[in-house]
Structure 1
Amino acid sequence: MASSPRVTLTDVAAAAGVGVSTASRALRGRGDLSAETRARVLAAAERLGHSRAGERRGRPRSGTSLLFDLVLGHFHDPYTDEVTAGARTAAARLNYDLVLTAERETPGDDWPVRIRSRGSAGVVLGLMVPTATQLAVLRDADIPVVLLDPWADSSLPIPSVRTTDRAGGIDAAEHLVAQGARRFIVVGGAPSYRYGRARVEGFASTVRRLLPDAPLVRAQADWSAAGARRACNAALSALRRQEGDGPVGLFACSDEMAAGTYRSAADAGLVIPRDMMVVGFDDVRGARWLRPALTTVRQPIREMAASAIHALAAYAQGEPLEPSITELPTRLVARGSTRPELSVGASV
């Protein structure tokens, strides 16, 4: 419904079942209110077409703060550590502070209201896609949003930064074929996010193009090392029942899952890389610590986070923020897990 000056704060309060002062605090992003109350007031205001033109909308009197928010569902794993490092470094170089904001797994989570309250200059949303209501809270306060590696494509007009996931899967397949693999396993992630599907599709289609008759087993794991170990155990059993021989080439959609397949190889008495060659995806620090060191598709995680921060800073300087997709290229990094000449031990 279009905004109308006839809709007053009193109307919004009545529709939400709260007092006028409570409605005012909710709309301004102020006060100690529950997430459910804030959400109810904001929904009533949107439904009635209440205009808050001229109000502070939770922003500081002196204008937008020199800070950006990085919103993630969780922190402190190898991937999000890289995201945080890249965003923090870029923000500091641009004389901005970086606030780490957690998306809580509760229906009434009010992270957009919390961000609006501190007058953030912009928001990077990592590995997520906001709802229309969440985005409206930020846009109503003229706080720009950039998506970083979203788990799905959004129908909302939001700029995003990501990497060339499908191309990375293609590179992994071409590398394994060139190294002599003739049987293949691809371990995808569950849930099957956008980037995981692209990696698996790129890998599988390339194997089929280069070696149409080669056995190829698809497996899924819950994006964890333990899950990948179980999935790889089952995939190896399925591969043994198919015709064909030669080294196994395995592609896992993350380095953490690739680490789990190392344990699976040990379970089966296989030697990496002689019996099974492994390629991961991400190139986080742990990839170098595996023995043998993991061949992986490097996605430029820090650079992606920095790109999102630079886009927000440019918007703060008056440049437009177009709802376009920015893709930074992947690069395959070959290490010991796909170099048979480095392997030791007896074959099974």
Structure 2
Amino acid sequence: MSSPRRITLARVAEEAGVSVSTASRALRGRGDLSADVRTRVLHAAAALGYTSAGESRGRPRDPTAGVIDLVFGNFHDPYTDEVVAGARTTAAALRYDLVLTTDRPDAEDDWPHRIRTRGTAGVIVGLVMPTAAQVALMREAGIPLVLLDPPSEAPAALTSIRTTDRAGGVSAAEHLLARGAERFIVIGGTPSYRFGRARVDGFISAVRTDLPEAQVVRVDADWSAIGAAAACARALRELNGAGPIGLFACNDEMAAGAYRAIADAGLAVPREVLVVGFDDVRGARWLHPPLTTIRQPIREMGAAAVRTLVRAIEGADIAGEAIELPTALVVRGSTAPGAPGDPASSHP
């Protein structure tokens, strides 16, 4: 009987339609190839069952490697600052160093290839959904991966840390209804990420359950204060009738933009418009009046992502886990008691 044909690097290169040297660079994670070439080579190697005994696959076999990468599209905004604070403190307590890695738009300098070259023990990817090719590179290198607040539903095999977005939207609606709001504005985010959709769906569902005939005007903005100001101005013009307005914005920055539009329309928060945001970033309490918001435990999410990743680094099977941390309503001046329609408004 003849022995099975040995799968060689040359055969992988032939299958992928590239040279042997190109196939070698692709499998080693070098950064000088296009994403398309890398993907073809990886798919060919996987289909053929190619392994390269003795080659470095990106992560050192030494289990004491103490580096964790935190990947975001950008840093130094209120959300990522909180994530970094939670992740860095927890990583240090577990004797790991945290490296901040940017997801760059240049396919020639993709983050998985940079990560594979520096002895990373594991990766947290925040607000970014990795491609199938990127996941394959991490899996091939033996580098565990955890998603933090993924923008779309994660494949079943990937582990994610998130918050109770829909429940947060429900809480915002219930609070505005309890404060006497009769007409509603919802400012959703565009692009329409998973967490934004869940917040809006929860809010509208709760309003429809409690006050089925209420007018609800849904507008979208680009997750920024400027975009939300313009969207809120349109929504205010669309509202009919009279009565207190309840406004829910899918993040605190958009709520701040709504403040500007409300003032420009000659209205006041909370006298005519009650406002609830989402996130509870530092700036929420410094708005005038301070913003009622749904607190997302951002710092705790960063810490949970590190703890979950370290479990995987130490050999635990975490595949497919979806860990949700609870939101909480934080009441401040933007829905203060005494606003029109509030049961407490008649009290001094």
Q: TM-score, normalised by structure 2?
A: 0.90
Give the C-alpha shift of residue 312 in structure 1. Answer: 1.2
Pick one of 217, 231, 249 that aligns with 1:252.
249
* Distance in 2 of aligned mates of 1:43 and 1:318: 26
Q: State the distance in 2 between where 1:208 and 1:83 align.
A: 34
Instruction: Count matched residues.
Output: 336
| Match of residue 222 from structure 2 | 222
Distance 1:144 1:59, change over 3 A: closer
- Counterparts of 1:157-236 in structure 2, within 5 Å, are 157-236=157-236
- Does the CA contact (< 8 Å) of 2:59 and 2:121 recur in 1? no
CA separation in 1, counterparts of 2:102 and 2:87?
15
Alpha-carbon separation, structure 2, partners of 1:237 and 1:210: 24
Unaligned runs of at least 5 residues, structure 1: 344-348
1:51 & 1:33 partners in 2: Cα distance? 22
Provide Cα deviations, 1:181-210, integer angstroms capped at 9, x if missing partner: 111101011111111111011111111111
Deviates more, 1:59-68 or 1:36-45: 36-45
Q: Is the CA contact (8 Å cut-off) linking 2:87 and 2:303 kept in structure 1?
A: yes
Opposite residue 67 of structure 2, the aligned amino acid is L
Deviates most, 177-186 or 98-107: 98-107
Q: Give the 3-state SS of the residue equivalent to 2:281 in structure 1.
A: coil
Partners of 2:28 and 2:21 in 1: CA distance:
11
Question: For 1:256-310, what per-residue CA distance to the aligned partner results, in whole angstroms no more than 9, with x for missing partners?
Answer: 1000000001110111111111000000001011111100000101111111100
Give the residue type in structure 1 aligned to 2:289. Answer: P
Alpha-carbon distance between aligned partners in 2 of 1:23 and 1:45, rounded to the nearest angstrom:
9
- State yes or no: 1:316 paired with 2:313: yes
1:306 maps to 2:303: yes
Partner of 1:328: 325
- Which 5+ residue runs of structure 2 have no aligned equivalent? 341-348
CA–CA distance in 1 between the matches of 2:117 and 2:38?
12
Deviation larger for 256-265 or 141-150:
141-150
Deviation, structure 1 residue 80: 1.2
Please give the per-residue CA displacement for 1:284-343, whole angstroms capped at 9, x wherever unaligned: 001011111100000101111111100111222232213121110000000011115389
Which segment drifts farther, 138-147 or 109-118? 109-118
Superposed CA offset, 1:19-66 (max 9, x none): 544533432235x63444645543443354422344221333645621
Contact conserved, 1:164 with 1:330, CA < 8 A, in 2? yes
In the TM superposition, what whole-angstrom CA distance separates every residue of 1:130-188 from its partner, at most 9, and x where no partner exists?
Answer: 22211111111211111111111123411111000011011101111111111110101
Other-structure match for 1:120: 120
Of 212-221 and 41-50, deviating more is 41-50
What does residue 10 of structure 2 align with? 10
Name the % identity.
Answer: 62
Judging changes above 3 Å, is the alpha-carbon distance between structure 1 residues 319 and 5 closer, same or farther for their aligned structure 2 residues? farther
**Deviation at residue 67 of structure 1 after TM alignment:** 0.8
CA RMSD of aligned residues (A): 2.1
Equivalent residue of 1:59, what SS?
Answer: coil
Which of these residues, 259, 263, 267, is aligned with residue 266 of structure 1?
Answer: 263
Aligned to 1:346: none
CA distance in 1, matches of 2:289, 2:96: 41
Query: Does the 8 Å CA contact 2:154/2:160 hold for their aligned counterparts?
Result: no
Q: Which amino acid aligns with 1:28?
A: R
**Counterpart position of 1:79:** 79
Tell me if the contact between 2:57 and 2:142 (Cα under 8 Å) persists in the aligned partners.
no
Question: Contact between 1:39 and 1:110, CA under 8 Å: does it hold in 2?
Answer: no
Residue 33 of structure 1 is matched in structure 2 by 32
2:104 counterpart letter in structure 1: R
Query: Structure 1 residues 107, 56: closer, same or farther in 2, change over 3 A?
Result: closer
Q: Distance in 2 between matches of 1:44 and 1:64?
A: 32
Q: Which amino acid aligns with 1:279?
A: V
Give secondary structure in 1 for the equivalent of 2:95: coil
Which amino acid is 1:85 matched to?
A: A
Distance 2:5 2:27 in 1: 16
Does the Cα contact within 8 Å between 2:159 and 2:318 map onto a contact in 1?
A: yes
Q: Distance in 2 between matches of 1:293 and 1:52?
A: 59
| C-alpha distance in 2 between matches for 1:156 and 1:135 | 13
1:284 aligned partner: 281
